[in-house]
Structure 1
């Protein structure tokens, strides 16, 4: 089977880009021929993946281009590869219209199956506004992408995506959920865990330092814990979404009198990230917008119990090591209860590690391979 994948892999990108990066690497171990068209991927990432044996046939630059112009350029490029490489199916590694529409148009013109790995509901929410008003062109383009995806079998990294879209009346008609959508680097994690580093942080957060990730809830929680229990140290792993957010955040820590308790470690990857995380006792994740949080999974993999909002994404973690709360007051209470009881933390830590072990990148790549087979079967039954 020859598969052409449209992707934007980046180990330092957003969650979907990180997933693409690792899945592409591990798909190379499965007996199918994968060809990849990347979009706006840094050249050093392209070179690294090619050196790993991944057949990237083109890296298309769309930066600075109008999106419709770029879609047309991608369609011409993909159709040429479908013909030259005898492609059996096209796969979009993103639900973004920039990826979906070229895959749909190229497949329709070439009369071959296609599918989408849907990693979020944000890009395909036509009602989402990035300013004061909803863009008409974005609305129409997104609705077209949704209509296209309803003419194939799509594969979701989480059923939260269908839940969120169904609330808007635009859920998918034909979909399934990947068995294991993401993986963890357990070998690196094990090296950090075996180092038995001292717990120098009481709490930790990892992810984009943005308002939708609940970073201001973190400050409220820390300030309350300090007043009601004792001083604590909160580790932040990640980058601020913009300079304004950074300034606002730092100013608030000063006003609350907790500036010295917030340790900003910046964005880290690999062993450096895991070893820093291993120095914490409890993971806080007050995010409002997640689908399947790899940050929570990585925290569990490092043996940290996690306290999260009781939102749909949290219910995917079927383990007592993920503690769901419904109010800031509950958040504070659970933090204090956890920090007071080391035996409780140690018990949840074992549960966390056990739960996380099922998430490997080999398993994620195999789940995606099964999705390709399901899509082909769906198309052949339909024809």
Structure 2
């Protein structure tokens, strides 16, 4: 990068106004990690719906603007939609000419209020450099198929249509963006048609402790980490575990690190208990876990069960291999970067999925290989590299 004088002439405006609270999705984790790193080099303004500052105390030149006065309870999806309208209305007073010479706008999510705010800032400041970030794959038309991998007709629900239309609006508004940044190269060719300037994000790992690669030191056989949702493949879990029980008749312990409620089934815990009651495994539903507590449970688990259908990257894969826990997942294009510490089964081939679980449970040599190769691979994912990957764009812009 250029000298300090050049950096001080440039301000980064981070837009994340749909964020209310501090529970982290993969996209929110990206925001926190890169913003805190950029803040050490450049003056920065962070616009959040509501959030505690992600920047270390004492870093100069940082201003965080919370559109809302406090952290609202999220409620159901319709309440969130109403809140979006409130947030975008309240954010309009911040749409104005910037008072610094060079300005970079980074819209961190593709939700429409986030994009609309960034779009209006770009219109008010046409010489600013706008980076439009999406952490989603391109959604298929919900009227033609259920989702990208299951090709069958059904009437989509309101939020499937909403999600699809929201992304259509994102791609329309990002035409004004100078750079489109995405979290997965799967849709690269399609995205290049929408913006010739494309950057593929490489995510970073959070855990830097020692891994646990010995099966003997693990307390749990199988761990699921995520949300209970069809997209996450959780409807496949009962079938996978029944097949595992049939070929590997052992008493296993299975933990679920996830909220107990599901948008699809409501009381997912009750539904799952009913579906798998006859299997006889020791199931524990632990609720959501974060930070050190999450990694402690992952580290004590032999295998991560990851049956998700549709992910931009799948940070839980990286969470698992960074502590030495191998992963079993479906072999899908969106997991092309999942190259070590993993066994893959063809999509919805639950017999092969169960056999991969069995292989890791009974073959200690294979387990050791996958555990170590996964841990070593995890070290190639670094948030410093993620943040630095954008700085060539900053430098080119400042040199204009």
Structures share a fold, TM > 0.5?
yes
**Change in CA separation of 1:171 and 1:309 when aligned onto 2, cut-off 3 Å:** farther
2:316 to 295, 306, 312: 295
1:14 to 18, 22, 25: 25
1:154 to 141, 157, 180: 180
Distance 1:234 1:288 in 2: 21
Structure 1: unaligned runs, 5 residues or longer: none
Deviations 1:217-238 (A, max 9, x none): 2222222212221222222112
**Change in CA separation of 1:77 and 1:19 when aligned onto 2, cut-off 3 Å:** same
Aligned: 1:109 with 2:130? no
**Change in CA separation of 1:68 and 1:201 when aligned onto 2, cut-off 3 Å:** closer
Q: Is the 8 A contact 2:15 2:106 kept in 1?
A: yes
**Deviation of residue 155 (structure 1)?**
1.1
Deviations 1:256-286 (A, max 9, x none): 3246522222211111111111111121100
**Structure 1, 237-246 or 99-108: larger mean CA deviation:** 237-246
Query: What is the TM-score when the length of structure 1 is the normalising length?
Result: 0.82
**Change in CA separation of 1:6 and 1:305 when aligned onto 2, cut-off 3 Å:** same
**Deviation of residue 351 (structure 1)?**
0.3
Equivalent residue pairs, number: 361
Aligned residue number for residue 217 of structure 1: 236
**Structure 1, 347-356 or 230-239: larger mean CA deviation:** 230-239
**Change in CA separation of 1:325 and 1:244 when aligned onto 2, cut-off 3 Å:** closer
Q: Is the 8 A contact 1:95 1:123 kept in 2?
A: no
Q: Is the 8 A contact 1:158 1:177 kept in 2?
A: no
Deviations 1:50-85 (A, max 9, x none): 736382341113967574564354343032xx4245
SS of structure 1 residue aligned to 2:344: strand
Distance 1:338 1:172 in 2: 42
Deviations 1:171-214 (A, max 9, x none): 5332423352x222233x33x74999821111112111222211
Report the RMSD for the aligned CA atoms in angstroms: 3.4
Aligned: 1:71 with 2:97? no
Distance 1:11 1:350 in 2: 32
Structure 2: unaligned runs, 5 residues or longer: 1-9, 73-79, 148-155
SS of structure 2 residue aligned to 1:186: coil
Q: Is the 8 A contact 2:106 2:131 kept in 1?
A: yes
Distance 1:158 1:51 in 2: 32
Query: What is the TM-score when the length of structure 2 is the normalising length?
Result: 0.78
**Change in CA separation of 1:124 and 1:11 when aligned onto 2, cut-off 3 Å:** farther
**Structure 1, 241-250 or 263-272: larger mean CA deviation:** 241-250
Aligned: 1:231 with 2:240? no
Aligned residue number for residue 226 of structure 2: 207
**Change in CA separation of 1:239 and 1:5 when aligned onto 2, cut-off 3 Å:** same
Distance 1:267 1:239 in 2: 5
Aligned residue number for residue 103 of structure 2: 88
**Structure 1, 84-93 or 338-347: larger mean CA deviation:** 84-93
Aligned residue number for residue 26 of structure 1: 37
**Change in CA separation of 1:142 and 1:253 when aligned onto 2, cut-off 3 Å:** closer
